[in-house]
Amino acid sequence: MKHQSGFTLVEIAIVLVIIGLLLGGVLKGQQIITNAKVSNVEKEFNSVSVAIYNYQDRYRALPGDDKKADTRFGLAITKKGNGNWKIDGGVFDVSTGDFEPRLFWLHLRNAGLITGPTDDNGLEQPMNSFNGIVGVATAVANIPGLFVGFSNIPPDIASFIDTRNDDGTPNKGSVQASVGTTTATDYKGTGLYSIYYAM
């Protein structure tokens, strides 16, 4: 009679426990990474807010809209704003024009309030932790004043950010959202969202 070899129930149970522990560790690791990215978005908003207030306190002007930025920092005349206390233009406009949302970063960099190049490369908008753009503009979604926007945010993360920092409703409050150029009404979509923090 041949002796058949195989796994005992104890060996199978041990293997299943090990697999469970590995899967649990991977899922927990992904949650930690996601939480870190959310925290980075919040820190980026706070850093931009502090830079804006410091710029206003120092120069009595809004970065990006500063009509004296050309003489103040030795920039070309096209690198100044119109002085209307608004950041006019598309918040995530990545074209090469001298639009105020891009001038915003150039002015802050030349003032030494954020790091980065102070020449024409200083017009580049920074990337957020979700590989989207950080932008600043006036009047988007239902936010009437100045806001800081973060693009390329997955729906579940956008909902989490809104709930954690505001009311969880994407078209109301101090944190709002859009999908493309359309104001979001919920976070049930499958596309990427843009989140806007009111200043």
pLDDT tens-place string over residues 77-134: 899 999 999 998 888 877 767 789 999 999 999 999 999 999 888 888 999 999 999 9
User: Is residue 102 packed enough to be buried (19+ CB in 10 Å), middle (13-18) or exposed (0-12)?
Assistant: buried
Predicted pLDDT at 29: 67
Q: Are 120 and 103 in contact (CB under 8 A)?
A: no
Predicted pLDDT at 91: 86
Predicted pLDDT at 140: 67
Predicted pLDDT at 182: 87
Spell out the domains of the chain, with CATH numbers in brackets: 41-198 (3.30.1690)
Q: What is the mean pLDDT of each run of 10 residues along the chain (199 residues)?
A: 70 81 71 83 94 96 95 92 91 78 94 91 89 88 83 93 92 90 88 92
Question: Starting at the edge strand that comes first in sequence, how are the strands of the sheet with 134-140 ordered?
Answer: 134-140, 143-153, 193-198, 175-179, 182-183
Predicted pLDDT at 104: 95
Write down the pTM of the prediction: 0.82
Report phi then psi at 134, rounded to 5: -100, 125
Place of tokens 């950080």: 134
